[in-house]
A = this chain, B = another copy of it.
Amino acid sequence: MLRINAVERDCGLPKDTLRVWERRYGFPNPERDANGERVYPDDQVRALRLLRRLIDAGHRPGKIVGQPIEALARMASALAGDATDLAPEAEILLGVLRADDAERLRELLSGMLIRLGLRAFTAEVAPVLNQAVGASWARGELEIHQEHLFTEQFNAVLRGAINAARGAGARQERPLVLLTTLPQEPHGLGLLMAEAMFILAGCRCVSLGVQVPVGSIAAAARAHHADILALSFSSLMSAAQAHAGLAELRSVTPVAVEIWAGGACAGLRAREGVRLIRALDAIAPAVENWRARACQSSGAAA
């Protein structure tokens, strides 16, 4: 049973939207507490999470808000493939998570990292694992604390690897990459994965962590003389917000600084002055491309 602001946090649906859906579509249909304030039962919150995912994936609210949860679940599993054709790693991972086995989770993740290496782990396996956990959580199969445990351990393993990679005499040249997320985006895993890929590409990286105000991002880009501003957008962020944030950021950031955006956010699109990096594996070639251009223009300047 959650209150409206908790639902806003958990499902990423603004309060106004929750209220207007209730008025228009009759769903959600929260109970009321002693003060007449909305209280959302758990099953409705689960349905709202599914709705959020489906809408991000292109469904229209008018068609799906109010449908029974089974129908929503069917549509959700239809769009992201269902649990039967999960990668075997993801299958094992979900089993370990459901068993609350922190020890084995750590071994599993660091084992994969060691076997595959940082690049393959980050670019190929990590997104699959993340997506599997996210989908499982949206289906209500995972407890909140299990999802948190995954996030925390994944974070720890990846950060350890990044530290090691940075320490291991890797070259750290230009471009200087400043990594962060917009204020609406509290999810830091994507950022960390991107940092790993940039480090592997031999870039100097400075991460500001998550949720930095647009004005301060621009100030940081100037202060650090960044070449590239890398922004991460998780699947929980709406395309509209991302778009608006990027527009604002672009308008206050020096034109010499490139803005690269990436992440699992569904409707994320390139726009004037913002480069879209769809997959983590696209980072390395994009960096090479940047270097080629930088070399050319410095040659031309000299």
Interface residue ranges, A against B (CB under 8 Å) = 6, 9-10, 100, 102, 143-146, 148-149, 151-152, 155-156, 159-160, 162-163, 180, 182-184, 206-209, 212-217, 219-220, 223-224, 248
Contacts and interface: CB of A to CB of B under 8 A. Distances in A.
Contacts of A184: 9
B102 A206 contact: yes
How many copies of this chain? 2
A151 B102 CA distance: 26
Given A156-B163, A159-B160, A206-B102, A10 B215 contact: yes
Contacts of A148: 180, 208-209, 212, 216
21 contacts: A6-B214, A9-B184, A9-B213, A9-B214, A10-B213, A102-B206, A144-B212, A145-B180, A145-B208, A145-B212, A145-B219, A145-B220, A145-B223, A148-B180, A148-B209, A148-B216, A149-B208, A152-B209, A155-B209, A156-B162, A156-B163
Please provide the 7 A-B residue pairs with the shortest distance between their CB atoms, ordered closest to farther: A145-B220, A100-B223, A144-B216, A152-B209, A160-B163, A102-B206, A9-B183
Nearest to A49: B213
A160 B253 CA distance: 33
Contact of A217 (B145, B182, B207): B145
A215 B42 CA distance: 11
A138 B65 CA distance: 42
